[in-house]
Amino acid sequence: KFKNVTASYQQTTMADYDYDDEDLPDPSLKNIIEQESLQWIFVGGKGGVGKTTTSCCLGTQLAKHRKKVLIVSTDPAHNLSDAFCQKIGRDPTPILGFDNLSAMEIDATEDLDKMQRSMEDATGAGQDDDGSGIQALMSELTNSIPGIDEAMSFSELMKQVQNMDYDVVVFDTAPTGHTLRLLSFPTILEKAFGKIMDLKDRFGGLIGQASALFGGGSPDQVQDALIGRLEETREIINKVNTAFQDPALTTFVCVCIPEFLSIYETERLVQELSKFGIDSHNIVVNQVLFPEKDAEELGEWFDSNKDGLQKEAREICSKMMARKRMQDKYIGQCFDLYGDDFHVVLMPLLDHEVRGVDKLKDFSELLINPIDLEE
């Protein structure tokens, strides 16, 4: 679908579209704030498009209307600490300036190690030995089924979050590929459980005996611990997956910038979310040059004033105009693809970084109060 649109609208700009606010969904995230039933909000998209800033801004707005809000970073390259200008750890950390907003940055490797230690304690391994049997089994499992380590880590996170009393959780996700893998965890765990059960049926206690030989506790204990942990993980993930597929509880906010690769990635993400049955009806377009103006309007000004500008100023304005025309083309395609069904929010490119609570609060207002495209 996207390739066809790209071919048909290569020369399209925003000026070619007739934006009527009455015909389009409200270009803001006000619908998310007003939907009080929402418990899980995912924010995702291509790397470097402003997912963390959007997540933090959304969290600050939600904090005005909800009792307790949590922002969770599932991206291995965490940025929440940088955005809020304060140290944020793997446990919920209160955000300075708020009494109902917290944030946490999870570490999949550390969570998996913690899970492994708990299994060693449960089987008696690690008391008189180094628990290498459990380590060998976990290593074999993660190597045989790619993504199982992240799936088990995610289940630990969800179990932890569900035991807290937060009204809504905002997930600042990793770039698109990692996010789609996160959504496929139920399938991964089914494969893992099937593989383990198949090995158990075929070889009986051989797995446990082998691990016990290396100091992993008694055969039955090791086998039961591993299968029990997988079963627990599968139950949590399936329960969470059911909630994720309920549009009353979960929604996904797609974030992009007005460039070809980012718009293309957004289309891919929207299609994949549809396959997983996850609601998505909001798109945030970041780094937009003068959202309230179009290239044609600015071009008329430039053409009538360029002769009076110095050479350097003309070059700067010329490059800005080229960027504005390119952005308008892709913003036009974005409205053509999603404008009828999605809330498309245009966020301006600022002349400063959005870091710290005060700047995040100010910028977050633009998510709620739409820019009038007809001004």
Which one of the listed residues 18, 75, 107, 129 is annotated catalytic? 75
3-state secondary structure 147-165: CHHHHHHHHHHHHHHHCCC
- The pLDDT score that the predictor gives to residue 374 is 60
Residue with tokens 């700047």: 359
Residue with tokens 């800033």: 53
- The pLDDT score that the predictor gives to residue 88 is 93
The rounded mean pLDDT for the chain is 80
Is residue 229 within 8 Å of residue 137, measured between CB atoms? no
Q: Is the pLDDT of residue 77 over 80?
A: no
Mean pLDDT of 130-135: 53
Q: Which is nearest to 343 in space by CA: 10, 28, 21?
A: 28
Provide, rounded to the nearest whole percent, the portion of the chain with pLDDT above 90.
45
Per DSSP, the chain holds a count of helices (H) and strands (E) of 15, 8
Q: How confident is the model at residue 11 (pLDDT cuts 50, 70, 90)?
A: very low
What H or E segment, with its residue span, contains residue 237?
Answer: helix 219-244
Q: Is the pLDDT of residue 312 over 70?
A: yes
Which residues are CB-contacts of 114 (< 8 A; sequence separation ≥ 6)?
Answer: 156
Q: Is the entire prediction scored with pTM above 0.85?
A: no
Mean pLDDT of 83-105: 93
Q: Does the active-site annotation cover 75?
A: yes
- The pLDDT score that the predictor gives to residue 70 is 95
Q: Is the pLDDT of residue 203 over 70?
A: no
Is residue 51 within 8 Å of residue 171, measured between CB atoms? no
Q: What is the distance between the alpha carbons of residues 325 and 299, in angstroms, rounded to a whole number?
A: 9
- The pLDDT score that the predictor gives to residue 7 is 42
Q: What are phi and psi of 205, to 5 degrees?
A: -90, 15
| Strand stretches in the chain, DSSP E | 40-45, 69-73, 93-94, 101-105, 168-172, 250-256, 282-288, 343-348
* Structure-block tokens of residue 97: 């300036």
Lowest mean pLDDT among 180-189, 203-212, 224-233: 203-212
